[in-house]
Amino acid sequence: MERELQILLAGFGGQGVLFAGKCIAYAGLMDGREVSWLPSYGPEMRGGTANCSVTLSDAPIGSPLITAPNVLVALNQPSYDKFVDEVQPGGVIIADTSMIADLRLRDDVECFGVPATKIAEENGLGKGGNMVLLGKLFEVTKFCDWDTLMEGLRHCIPASKAHLLDNNIKAIKLGMEA
């Protein structure tokens, strides 16, 4: 991948937006890319808004702020509504259709609706919808190679939650197939 990816992940606090962004950022670092990771969340965190901007580039990154992403990963309706029109023409939108009932489509971007929350729940993965969407993002953009993504994921999961690694991998694979 030669181009710069400016990825905006957005949802409610507690949906794993920041974790998914961190996994992408670490995979980018391990791939030798220039990386910017900028979390943003409301003061109440869980249940409030949570956004995460991740830039992966082959050139130095001038600013961590992303005002016109070329990739949007939306985990809920308010986030989708807020950012759908900000995506650059030719960009990609990946949306959790379990949480987004009104998927207003644009004809100048690629849009992938994935019932990520439902897929996670049906497969005993609890709140793994974020990782299902990460899998779809990986499949669509190939932002790194598989081994690098797995290395980034392992780096992001703390030792106290190491038992969740297999579930996260399963969720990513389900997202790739969705």
pLDDT digits (tens, 9 = 90+) for 76-118: 999 999 999 999 999 999 999 999 999 988 999 999 999 999 9
The C-alpha atoms of residue 32 and residue 46 are separated, in whole angstroms, by: 33
Residue 1 pLDDT class (50, 70, 90 cuts): very low
The C-alpha atoms of residue 79 and residue 72 are separated, in whole angstroms, by: 10
Residue 43 pLDDT class (50, 70, 90 cuts): low
Q: State how many domains the chain has.
A: 1
Residue 47 pLDDT class (50, 70, 90 cuts): low
- Ramachandran angles phi, psi of 52, nearest 5°: -145, 125
Domain limits for position 33: 5-177
Q: Which CATH number does the domain housing residue 128 bear? A: 3.40.920.10
**Contact status, residue 36 vs residue 47, Cβ threshold 8 Å:** no
Q: Reply yes or no on whether the pLDDT at 163 is more than 70.
A: yes
pTM above 0.85, yes or no: yes
